[in-house]
Amino acid sequence: KQEVTQIPAALSVPEGENLVLNCSFTDSAIYNLQWFRQDPGKGLTSLLLIQSSQREQTSGRLNASLDKSSGRSTLYIAASQPGDSATYLCAVLVFSSGSARQLTFGSGTQLTVLP
Amino acid sequence: KAGVTQTPRYLIKTRGQQVTLSCSPISGHRSVSWYQQTPGQGLQFLFEYFSETQRNKGNFPGRFSGRQFSNSRSEMNVSTLELGDSALYLCASSLAGASSYNEQFFGPGTRLTVL
């Protein structure tokens, strides 16, 4: 059974710092990995998607890497801003029976960027 | 292009009642998945529908059911509500074609409170 772990559970940094969020998964048979952002009481916003054959993806100040063999992904946020404060969730898309797929989520990292 | 929409956004019910939640996917998306989010269990997969067929189901009791219509809109039903069903219910849609990246896009969620 696929399990996804995110470390740390919470992180507080001063504005302007670069930071790294970690995600690990137990089964390397994934279709892709997605990083999401969730603001309190809201839905999930997709940040980056990495296909299983890719090593990294970049979008603005965000960079996500994937090492499928070791079951790890990192989300790098450059020059953090107070508006980056949110919970960041990592999820892997896995195959179940036939062509059915489902996301397995980590428990998230709650990020606070202090002005 | 409009995003994933969910109705209603908030719902209050009492134990024993039943509830129906609705999800309209992004235009052209044929796969709709449902997730339950609670503080204790995090995000858990409920089921996935593709072309009006349930393709995958998570580990939830039979009180949780769903369906998908020919226009890809989906509904989720929970019968005989229990206090523990209080949660944020999230719907996600994706293209789910063979050549697609299967990126999942989430709606804002329906907050269900069971009293």
The string of DSSP letters for A1-39 reads ---EEEE-SEEEEETT--EEEEEEES---EEEEEEEEE-
Pick A105's closest partner by Cβ from B42, B55, B108: B42
Best of A59, A93, A101 to mutate (most B CBs within 10 Å, chain B): A101
Best of B104, B110, B112 to mutate (most A CBs within 10 Å, chain A): B104
pLDDT surpasses 90 at B92: yes
Tens of pLDDT, residues B31-69: 999 999 999 899 999 999 998 999 889 999 999 999 999
Pick B104's closest partner by Cβ from A42, A46, A51: A46
pLDDT of B17 reads 98
Mean pLDDT of B4-14: 97
pLDDT surpasses 70 at B99: no
Asked if B114 reaches chain A (Cβ–Cβ under 8 Å), the answer is no
pLDDT surpasses 60 at B98: no
Are B56 and A36 inside 8 Å of each other by CB?
no
